[in-house]
Amino acid sequence: MRSRLLAVLVPLLVAVAPALLPVTAAASPAPAATGPSPKLRVFAGQDDRWTVGGRWLIRRDPGDVGLAQHWERPGSADGWTPGTVPSVWNAGDDGNASMAGGVAWYRRELRLPRIASTRAGGRWILRFERVSVGATIWVGGRLIGRHRGAYEPFEVDVPARAIRRDGTLTLVVRSDSRRTPSDFPPGSTLADGSPGGGWWNDGGIPREVVLRHADQVDLRVQATPDLPCPTCAGTVRVRATLRNVTRHARTVDVVARIAGRATSLGRVRLKAGARGSVHATAKVPKPIVWSPTRPHLYRIDVDATLRGRRSGPLADRVGDRVAHWRARTGIRSIRVRAGRLELNFRPVNLRGVGLHEQDATHGSALTDRGQDLLLEQARELGGLVIRGHYPLHPRMLEEADRLGLLVWTEIPVYQVRASELKKRAVRLAALRLLRTTIETNAHHPSVFTWSVGNELTTNPGPSIVRYIKTARDVRDELDPTRPLSYARQAGVQRGCVGAYGRLDLIGLNDYFGWYGGPTDALADPVNLGPFLDKLRACNPNEAWMITETGAEANRDGPLEEHGTFAFQSAYAAYHFAVYRSRPWLSGAIWWGLREFRVRPNWAGGNPRPTPPWHGKGLLGRFGTRKPAWDVLHQEFGAVDQLAPAPTGPVTIPPSPPGGIAPPGPGEEGDAPTDPPVPAG
């Protein structure tokens, strides 16, 4: 009986045993590789470019374990979720951890495009318009590059050995948005333990990734337009930097074409893997001058051709072309003369707004429509100038060129501690960022100044003086046609500041009557006019602009109460009337156009704030107009912004009540300083 029972049970147990064992899920396969898109957001650039959009995989790494676990390796997609690029992983997350930053990984299975060129050699290159803050890049599990800097484009070569035989590859990017005191803008921890850092710390890849192919020679171009005199031919200074990406020497001729005229930049012989450069100035006789009222653009093309492949004049050497770069530019003059900023040899009296590339839905990964909306709103207000705390997206600059908007272009060296700027590595990083900004954006006629920083201190010490001096050297080398500038805050100043004499254009961030305590001169708005006069007396040869002013507003209420729409409107009317009474000012900018995220506990001087939102915007976060919009729309429309300011009397309305609170850490106030340097 027992033996017969076992004979029945054993086969049954064998049959059901697999169902009783733990189930192990099959590894998720990586998605199939797909090609990049030929659709480009930016016109300027080389041939053979594609946008690496499509389906990406994203993986948050709050414990920072991805490196140890080798998430860079191709294979299973377990733990990864579908996503897109550009994107920020913390859009809509207003918490402390979001502001402090973190690590996120991005992965793309990419099929390389088939290119027309069949010549030997060539190189695939990845361009990242922005990764926040630190980036590490792998292809096929191989480390190919690192970069640090949230507002600086960079490129990395793709080694041929990392590409599979079928023309596919696995691209992995690790983004680490945790800021340090040495970053731009710097990270910080406030007295209450919450994170600071200038403005909201969007993590991830907020701007697009571009794939491009260099055929034998990689070509990069800086084109700088100018108009030397009112009756002169326009000029475009063209500098071409070439890199031989083959294993054999190459001799290359470079030609620039603009307005139907060809200009030889010269010939350069490049050893295998070597770099070289050539430059020349192209002329445009009787140019149509670019201006906000007539923003005429010329197309410029630069070709690199191999020597000796064809005979004939330069204009006929089309078949030998191994590299091509294109852009649109405009001929105009920007200069400072006799303490005034001039556009096309006329003093200006500009009005405009500051803005952040940010909205309530996408964070800083703005869509084309999101970018266009900001620019349209700035023009609708009536201003001719915009300012950002960092270089704007290149597509936005192309649109500003087309619309006739002038752009104060600034690198985000914002409230960096003097102790940090004493460090050579930090200064060199800032200068590298300035150099990249100039080389990348010099062809834009809308860009009228290179600003080297914002609110470092009211009394610059040796480290800041050294930084401004070396920044001027970089500007003089790369683009002496545009003014060098800096935006300083209003505050206690120990006499005149000698360092400002190295600038051409000085911006003042004015919050008289908003910030400040009962004994602070900033608290009383009537001190604004005399303070402006004092600054002008110190620097009569430099041009001055108001680069920021504003008051928070998020509710109805009496004029006497900070944070009400009535107070903001009265503040705007009073301050801009004071500016009109100082005709030597070259312009004034309200900060800012639309509300944006700053940090979790932002107050901004408002006794009833709505953190993390910066409430000084003329538009709410979703675009609703505040009453101060109408005040400034009327003010901007009443000013001839492209002519000298009138010198007659100005009626100044009553000033609103003075400031009731000092700026909090990281708000519009003094950055930590070092010992002042006497004027001279």
Q: In this predicted model, what pLDDT tens digit does every residue of 625-637 receive, in sequence order? A: 999 999 999 999 9
Q: Which pair of tokens denotes residue 36?
A: 């990049």
Single residue among 329, 352, 379 that ends a domain in this structure = 329
In a shared domain, residues 554 and 462:
yes
How do residues 547-559 score in pLDDT, each as one tens digit? 999 999 999 999 9
Tell me the C-alpha distance between 643 and 639, whole Å.
Answer: 9
| 19 conformational bin, left if phi > 0, alpha if psi -120 to 50, beta if neither | alpha
What pLDDT does residue 27 have? Answer: 64
Averaged pLDDT score across all residues of the chain? 91
> Which tokens sit at 404?
């006739």
Stronger pLDDT, 519 or 76, i.e. the higher one: 76
Does residue 593 fall inside a structural domain? Answer: yes
- For the chain, the 3-state helix, strand and coil shares in percent, each to the nearest 5, are 20, 30, 50
164 CB-side CA count, 13 A: 14
pLDDT over 60 (residue 50): yes
Q: What is the mean pLDDT of residues 270-282?
A: 97
518 located within any domain: yes
> Quick one: 275 and 346 in the same domain?
no
Q: Is residue 405 part of a domain?
A: yes
> What distance in Å separates the CA atoms of residue 484 and residue 490, rounded to the nearest whole number?
20
Same-domain status, 307 and 371: no
Q: Does pLDDT of 222 surpass 90?
A: yes
Same domain, 428 and 486: yes
Q: Pick from 491, 657, 647: which is nearest to 574 by CA?
A: 657
Name the helix (H) or strand (E) containing 394: helix 394-403
Residues 541 and 628 in one domain: yes
- Let me know whether 185 and 288 are in one domain: no
Tell whether 294 and 237 lie within a shared domain.
Answer: yes
SS3 per residue for 446-466: CEEEEEEEECCCCCCCHHHHH
Rg of the chain taking only CA atoms, in angstroms = 28
Burial of 316 (0-12, 13-18, 19+ CB in 10 A): exposed
Q: Position 132: which residue type?
A: S
Q: In angstroms, what CA-CA distances link 237 with 22, 44, 478, 480, 552?
A: 71, 16, 10, 11, 44
Residue of 666, 669, 671 lying closest to 99 (CA atoms): 666
In 382-438, the DSSP E strands lie at 385-387, 406-410
Residue 654 lies inside a defined structural domain of this protein: no
**Residues 100, 224: Cα–Cα separation, whole Å:** 39
Residue 275 within any structural domain of the chain: yes
pLDDT for the residue 28: 79
> Do 321 and 343 fall into the same domain?
no
CATH code where residue 166 lies: 2.60.120.260
Q: How many domains does the chain have?
A: 3
Whether the CB-CB separation of 620 and 562 falls below 8 Å is answered with no
DSSP label at residue 27: P
Task: Quote the pTM value.
Answer: 0.92
Is 396 within 8 Å of 405 (Cβ atoms)?
A: no
From the DSSP assignment, how many helices (H) and strands (E) are in the chain? 10, 37
17 pLDDT exceeds 70?
A: no
Alpha-carbon gap, residue 488 to 386, rounded angstroms: 17
Residue 236 pLDDT > 90: yes
Range of the domain at 133: 45-213
Can you give the CATH number for the domain in which 422 is found? 3.20.20.80
Residues 314 and 345 in one domain: no
Respond yes or no on whether the N-terminal peptide bond of residue 413 is cis (omega within 30° of 0).
no
Other residues' Cβ atoms within 10 Å of the Cβ of residue 249? 12
pLDDT, average across residues 179-188: 97
* DSSP-assigned states of every residue in 596-664: EE--TT--TT-SS--TTEETT-SB-TT-PBPHHHHHHHHHHHTS-TTSPPP-S--PPPPPPPPP-BPPP
pLDDT at residue 552, rounded to an integer: 98
Main-chain phi, psi angles of 303, to 5 degrees? -115, 140
Q: Is 440 helix (H, G, I), strand (E, B) or coil?
A: helix
**Domain final position from 637, 656, 674:** 637
Helix 368-381 to helix 627-637 angle, to the nearest 10 degrees? 60
Strands 543-548 and 505-509: parallel
Could you give the percent of the chain with pLDDT greater than 90?
83
> Phi first, then psi: what are they for 61, rounded to 5°?
-135, 65
Statement to judge: residues 450 and 550 lie in one domain? yes
Q: What is the pLDDT of residue 121?
A: 62
For residue 467, how many other CB atoms are within 10 A of its CB? 26
244/187 same-domain check: no
Domain final position from 329, 348, 369? 329
pLDDT of residue 522: 87
Amino acid at 491: G
Q: What is the pLDDT of residues 472-509, one digit of tens each?
A: 999 999 999 999 999 999 877 777 888 899 999 999 99
Mean pLDDT of 76-100: 96
What CATH number corresponds to the domain at position 303?
2.60.40.10
User: How do 134-139 and 168-176 pair as beta strands?
Assistant: antiparallel
57 pLDDT more than 50: yes
pLDDT of amino acid 115: 80
Report the relative pairing of strands 543-548 and 217-226 from DSSP bridges. unpaired
| pLDDT at residue 673 is higher than 80 | no
Smallest CA-to-CA distance from 128 within 152, 110, 102 is with 152
What's the rounded mean pLDDT across residues 293-321? 73
pLDDT tens digits along 210-220? 999 999 999 99
3-state SS assignment for residue 123: strand
pLDDT of 314 higher than 80: no
Domain assignment of residue 15, yes or no: no
CB 464 within 8 A of CB 457: yes
Separation of alpha carbons 413 and 134, rounded Å: 17
Q: Give domain status of residue 11, yes or no.
A: no
Residues 89-96: what's their mean pLDDT? 96
What's residue 669's pLDDT?
Answer: 44
The pairing of strands 321-329 and 334-337 is unpaired
Question: Using one digit for the tens of pLDDT, what is the confidence trace for 18-46?
Answer: 333 333 345 678 889 999 999 999 999 99
Asked if residue 679 has pLDDT above 70, the reply is no
Distance CA 597, CA 403 (A): 27
Q: Are residues 91 and 207 in the same domain?
A: yes
Compute the average pLDDT of residues 258-277.
Answer: 97
| 590 within domain boundaries | yes
Phi, then psi, of 290 in degrees rounded to 5: -75, 135
